[in-house]
Every structure is written in structure tokens, then in C-alpha cells.
Amino acid sequence: MRFSRTLSALLFLASIGLIVFDRPDVRPQVFSVFRATVVDLASPMLALAGDPLRRIRNVGPYFRNQAALADENARLRQELNEARYWRDLAFRLRDQVEVYEEALNLDAPVARERVGAWVIADPQGPFVRSRLIGAGENRGVQAGHPVLNVYGLVGRVVETGRRSSRVLLLTDLNSRVPVMADRSNARAVLAGDNTPFPVMEYIGREADLIDGDRIVTSGDDGVLPRGLPVGQAIRDRHGRWRVQLFSDLAPVDFVWVFPYERVPPPEQDRDALTFEPLRLESPAPVVQAEPAPQPQSVVEEDEEES
């Protein structure tokens, strides 16, 4: 069976054209809309296909972990007791913060309800580490919103459709998140490199980091809020600091999207910062300086004398 060579050549050219123009940094709006529409159309089928897997996901661990249940139960009870202490502390601190905010007349942004969503697709491609979740613009999800699972930050939303969104994972090559050590506030940028342990960059030579430091978002870029749990600092065999992600402690199947209003950079408020020219209601009297006497040249005086 032979097909038109012209059509095949055109399709090759179309593929190359798509590759050239569909890069994240220069992606035209029409491509973004097309991608979001395709994912939206596929999302019900993806949810349907993933449902049986979701139902049987605990079957394996159930049989594997029967022997360890008693130990796990004891450990969970201990953790629950500790968690009660931290909950009470959190309530007290929240009350204090409210009082301080009121005293200082701070206009803190109101925290909006988090949006829960199932992961409907786990597309395994070598080029992008992402997940598709079953919540989109219809539930207030927007690009840039942080996404967390039970244990910590998973990534952030990069594309939104009407019913679905794509989450770029922290491990992706294009992921950059400003973070800090909870203990010392040592700053870094968490950069994905397609390995399970993203690397910490721009930390300086004398960074105050130790193995096991709890790493949280620093909020320095204004894109993500401060204090979201990310992971633990570890050193690799080359001496570089990496982060063992908290979110990897459990399968990323159900996530929460936190609608966070990005802090606008000053450039966007430039219009608001333009100043009207200063106008005084009663203009100050202007002192008219008398004209300075013109010096008479010696030549003129000589002519008059003569």
C-alpha cells in the first residue's frame, strides 16, 4: 500500500514546525489552547482508565504489610501524640499571629480553600516530568498554583484546561523553586534534573546546611508561598546538596492545589507608581529680578566724549 509522498513530506515538515514553535518559552497561545483542549477531552477517559488501578492499589501493600501492622500501629500512635502537641502549638501561634496582624493593621491575603484533585494521568515521557490532575479552571485552578500531596510539595501548575491541569513536578528539568533550610534560613534554588533528587543550586560556599535539614519554600520569587514543605537535604557522592522529596513518601495519586495569589513584581505596578506633577493651589510669588545694568563699553564712552 502506497500513500502520497507529498502528504508524507508535508507531515514531516509539520512535525518539525511543531517542534520548533511549541517550546514552553515561545509557545503561541493557540498551541496552549489546543493542548489544554486535547487534555480536557482525554481527561474523562483517563479518569475512567485509572479508576480500576486506583481501586486495586492497596491490594499489594495489604498482603505485604500484614506482618508489620502491629509495629506500624504503635508508631502511628506515638506520632499521633506528638501531632496533638504540634496542633495545640499551631492553634496558639495562629491566635498570636491574628492578634499581631490586627495590632499592626496588616492586610494579609485571605487564604482560599484548597482544591483537592485526583491524578488522572501519569504520562511517562523522557522529556517532561508531569502529572495531569482532574481539576481545572472550573474549580479555580490557575497556572503557577502550588500542588501538594499529604507529605509535601509536588510541583506547580503549568497548564490549565477547563476540567484538567498539568502539574510540572519538582524533578523536571525545567523546574526551579526558591527554597531555604528551615533551621538556618540558608537560601537555594531547587532545580530539577530528571532524577528523583533535585539539586540545590546557588547556595554559596559557606552555606549553613547539614544532612537532614528540613527544606521548605522560601517564597523569594513571589510565585510560591513561603514555608511549604519540600524535603530533606542530603549530600550526593559528588558533594552536591540535593533534596529527598517529602512527596515521594507516598504515591502521588491525590493532591491539593493551593490557590495562591502571586505577588506582582514592581514592573506590573508601574502605572500605579506614576506621579502627577506637583501643583500648588496658590502659586508662590515670583520675584522679578531687576535687569542687571548693561556695562558700557569703553569705546562707546570715548565716542561720546569726542
Q: Which of residues 116-135 bind other proteins (CB under 8 A)?
A: 119-128, 130-132
Q: Is 69 a residue that touches other proteins (CB under 8 A)?
A: no
Q: Is 19 a residue that touches other proteins (CB under 8 A)?
A: yes
Binding mask 184-203 for other proteins (x = CB under 8 A): ----------xx--------
What is the SS3 string spanning the chain? CCCCHHHHHHHHHHHHHHHHHCCCCCCCHHHHHHHHHHHHHHHHHHHHHHHHHHHCCCHHHHHHCCCCHHHHHHHHHHHHHHHHHHHHHHHHHHHHHHHHHHHHCCCCCCCCCCEEEEEEECCCCCCCCEEEECCCHHHCCCCCCEEECCCCEEEEEEEECCCCEEEEECCCCCCEEEEEECCCCCEEEEECCCCCCCEEECCCCCCCCCCCCEEEECCCCCCCCCCCEEEEEEECCCCCEEEEEHHHHCCCCEEEECCCCCCCCHHHHCHHHCCCCCCCCCCCCCCCCCCCCCCCCHHHHHHHHC
Q: Which stretch binds other proteins (CB under 8 A): 47-55, 204-212, 229-237, 279-287?
A: 47-55
Q: Is 151 a residue that touches other proteins (CB under 8 A)?
A: no
Q: Is 162 a residue that touches other proteins (CB under 8 A)?
A: no
Q: Which stretch binds other proteins (CB under 8 A): 140-148, 168-176, 179-187, 295-303?
A: 168-176
Q: Is 150 a residue that touches other proteins (CB under 8 A)?
A: no
Binding mask 199-238 for other proteins (x = CB under 8 A): ----------------------------------------
Q: Which stretch binds other proteins (CB under 8 A): 39-47, 100-108, 239-247, 278-286?
A: 39-47
As a whole number of angstroms, the distance between CA 259 and CA 144 comes to 9
Q: Is 176 a residue that touches other proteins (CB under 8 A)?
A: no
Binding residue for other proteins, selected from 114, 140, 151, 173, defined by CB under 8 A: 173
Q: Is 18 a residue that touches other proteins (CB under 8 A)?
A: yes
Report CA 131 to chain centroid distance, whole Å: 15
Q: Is 183 a residue that touches other proteins (CB under 8 A)?
A: no
Q: Is 45 a residue that touches other proteins (CB under 8 A)?
A: yes
Q: Is 46 a residue that touches other proteins (CB under 8 A)?
A: yes
Binding residue for other proteins, selected from 28, 33, 38, 92, defined by CB under 8 A: 38
**In this complex, which beta carbon is closest to other proteins, that of residue 194 or of residue 232?**
194
As a whole number of angstroms, the distance between CA 49 and CA 42 comes to 11
Report CA 224 to chain centroid distance, whole Å: 4
Size of the site for other proteins (CB under 8 A): 54
117 has which bridge partners?
255
> Are 183 and 214 spatial neighbours (Cβ–Cβ below 8 Å)?
yes
- Going by C-alpha positions, the residue among 126, 128, 122 that lies closest to residue 50 is 122
Least Å distance, CB 207 to other proteins, is 25
Q: Is 50 a residue that touches other proteins (CB under 8 A)?
A: yes
Residues that bind other proteins (CB under 8 A): 1-3, 7-8, 11-12, 14-19, 22-23, 31, 34-35, 38-39, 42, 45-46, 49-50, 53-54, 56-57, 60-61, 119-128, 130-132, 159, 166, 168, 173-174, 194-195, 251-253
